[in-house]
Structure 1
Amino acid sequence: MRPRVAVIDDWQRVARASADWTALEARAEVLFLHDAFADEDAAAAALASFDIVMSMRERTPFPASLIARLPRLRMLSVTGARNRSVDVAALAARGIVVTRTEAGEDGSATAELALALMLAAARHVAAGDAAIRAGGFQAGILPGFTLRGRTLGLIGLGRLGTMMAGYGRALGMTLLAWSPNLTAARADAAGATLVPKDALLSASDVVSLHMVLAPGTVGLLGARELGLMRPGAILVNTSRGALVEETALLAALAAGRIVAALDVYDREPLPADHPLRRLPGTVLTPHLGYCVQENYAVFHRQAIENVLAFLDGAPIRPLAA
């Protein structure tokens, strides 16, 4: 019997066009699943009959509880160099092979989206687009503000934060930066000034998050931190939703204190009845940071290579625990 392969998380329906599936389809039954699973029960029901699952980034988590409900699973392919939503130890205990791919492009896709969100929020691009489509024009659209001469605060100055710093310099913005291990020399090399987190929040017109989600960064910005931000300041988050306490963010938006330009959320896809969909002062994109042709081409091509190598009995690109 040919192995059954599930290509899941294909929310944009781009997987088939992103790579050549001919070699894999000659050796396995390959099914493309486009819709997000409503919950773990739905994921278990949909995947129980598959030998191999090919996932996309962290869209579908694989905790031990789900892994235990997939009796036929022999291999899980994840994309990117790391995946914090996969219980690698639980998979290893079952003898299930887990592989990864390279990261794709250099992070420019996410950094560029952060720039786009900042510009869209500063100039009310989403509101203007909605007005035009509704038959209106300028009525009801508040004036925006120029970014030149304003202050951009970068929380996290790694690869993506440094790219965002370059965009800020090009726009003529003053740059502030903070992260737990950031040094003044590293900040200076990016054209930024290292300041304490509270000082960054209170002095910035735009705060852009570029931190990895980890136990120590969950809820990095809560009610106290958001309360330090300037009235009307923009919060850009293209990293992870859980970096910001959702209840505090919703309260700040409901009060009209800040503007939020978001690509990431605590739960994805964002539920249809989520209050963020109704609150003013937001620019929202559906986690598009890494969703570019260049990344998908690498992800799917290498994932196919990984599955073929597994079928040959010589797995490649193991995911580290």
Structure 2
Amino acid sequence: MRIALLDDYQNVALSCAPWGNLPPECQVVAFADHEKDEDRLVARLADFDAVGRVRERTLFPRRVLERLPRLKLLLATGLRNDRSIDLPAAADLGITVCSTTSHSFPTVEVTWAMILSLFRGIHHEVASVRNGGWQVQLGSAVRGKTLGILGLGTMGIPVAQVGQAFGMKLIAWSPNLTQHRAGPHGVEAVSKEELFARSDAITIHMPESERSVGVVGAPEIARMKKSAFLINTSRMPLIDEDAMIAALRAGRIGGAGLDVYNDEPLPRDHPYRHLPNVLATPHIGYVIRENYELYYGETVENIQAFLAGRPIRVLGPDGKIRT
């Protein structure tokens, strides 16, 4: 079996798991670059029996899967794969798709790194020191400020817990959120309109779905305070990107902290690389050694189980793990 590992940006995939536990006839090849062109991607993968990917970095729609007749095992990672892999197509083509578990707390940590950096201007101050300067702006405390949370769930609740420790006022909205559910976490459930109008920082923690795409549109951004920050460590399609960029360019909001993008890796000429009120990180929310060891370690287990004829952590057409 020939196994391709895609998008190994840091060249760490082969050191994060016991690949030597696989049978000697297994050949594992890691690719550090990301291939956006579908024709070149298909050409790269044509001679592989199995393909492993990190989260949603490479998409596998039906038209790609149909062009990979040798592919029998697609090794996903993380808990959400149904929007980036055509799972019904994989089932139709006889391709087994297995995934792994994942730690969610690293994204909470990155969210708070962004909130604190935006309020205190840490990224600007660091850049000033590196360039030979000194203090360049007046920051603001988070204590006493209002943090608005879109999605009070697996991510939103621990984000709120940290906000409580910092002495912030916490408000939240999601389509089905009630005060009965929000209250035990020290959070006030409010309307979507009120959240955008009251918050000094807004952080998004909703999964991407048909209902959530565009949940932050031009009307919501227009309600934000001129000093307020918008933080997105979830998925970029949840925001009307054109409306946000226009607001950032015009200084109608204080700034944005972004870890996710519609086009990844982010193009060199993208505004997020140059706008002074944007703190942009390269989708590192889940990128920690503990997660990579989990992803690749369980990937090795998934390959072993597949070769033994008893696949584990198999994703069904609905994206849920069957076994």
Taking structure 1 as the reference length, the TM-score comes to 0.96
The aligned counterpart of 2:105 is: 108
Q: Does 1:270 align with 2:269?
A: no
Question: Secondary structure, in 3 states, of the residue corresponding to 1:159?
Answer: coil
The aligned counterpart of 1:47 is: 45
Deviation, 1:78, is 0.3
The aligned counterpart of 1:161 is: 156
CA-to-partner distance for each residue in 1:237-258, whole Å, 9 max, x for gaps? 1100111111111101101122
Distance 1:24 1:231 in 2: 56
Distance 1:241 1:14 in 2: 26
The aligned counterpart of 2:185 is: 190
Deviation, 1:100, is 0.9
Question: Secondary structure, in 3 states, of the residue corresponding to 2:22?
Answer: helix
| Number of equivalences | 315
Cα pair 1:8 1:56 within 8 Å, conserved: yes
CA-to-partner distance for each residue in 1:134-184, whole Å, 9 max, x for gaps? 12222xx22110000000000100011000000110000000010001111
The aligned counterpart of 2:304 is: 308
Q: Which amino acid aligns with 2:88?
A: A
Matches within 5 A, 1:3-152: 3-24=1-22, 26-83=24-81, 84-103=83-102, 105=103, 107-138=104-135, 141-152=136-147
Q: Which amino acid aligns with 1:185?
A: H
Distance 1:119 1:99 in 2: 37
Cα pair 1:81 1:319 within 8 Å, conserved: no
Cα pair 1:226 1:249 within 8 Å, conserved: yes
Output the aligned Cα RMSD: 1.1
Deviation, 1:31, is 0.3
Distance 1:45 1:144 in 2: 51
Question: Secondary structure, in 3 states, of the residue corresponding to 2:155?
Answer: helix
Cα pair 1:117 1:236 within 8 Å, conserved: yes
- Comparing 123-132 with 17-26, greater Cα deviation is found at 17-26
The aligned counterpart of 2:243 is: 248
Q: Which amino acid aligns with 1:114?
A: T
Correspondence for 2:212 among 187, 212, 217: 217
Cα pair 1:82 1:100 within 8 Å, conserved: no
Distance 1:216 1:39 in 2: 29
The aligned counterpart of 2:167 is: 172
Question: Secondary structure, in 3 states, of the residue corresponding to 1:146?
Answer: coil
Distance 1:39 1:155 in 2: 34
Q: Please, which runs of 5 or more residues in structure 2 have no aligned partner?
A: 318-323
Deviation, 1:25, is 6.1
Taking structure 2 as the reference length, the TM-score comes to 0.95
Deviation, 1:264, is 0.6
Distance 2:239 2:12 in 1: 30
Distance 1:17 1:190 in 2: 40
Distance 2:264 2:241 in 1: 13
Q: Please, which runs of 5 or more residues in structure 1 have no aligned partner?
A: none
Distance 2:44 2:165 in 1: 48
Q: Which amino acid aligns with 1:128?
A: E
The aligned counterpart of 1:236 is: 231
Distance 1:197 1:254 in 2: 24
Distance 1:315 1:25 in 2: 16
Q: Which amino acid aligns with 1:204?
A: S
Cα pair 1:77 1:98 within 8 Å, conserved: yes
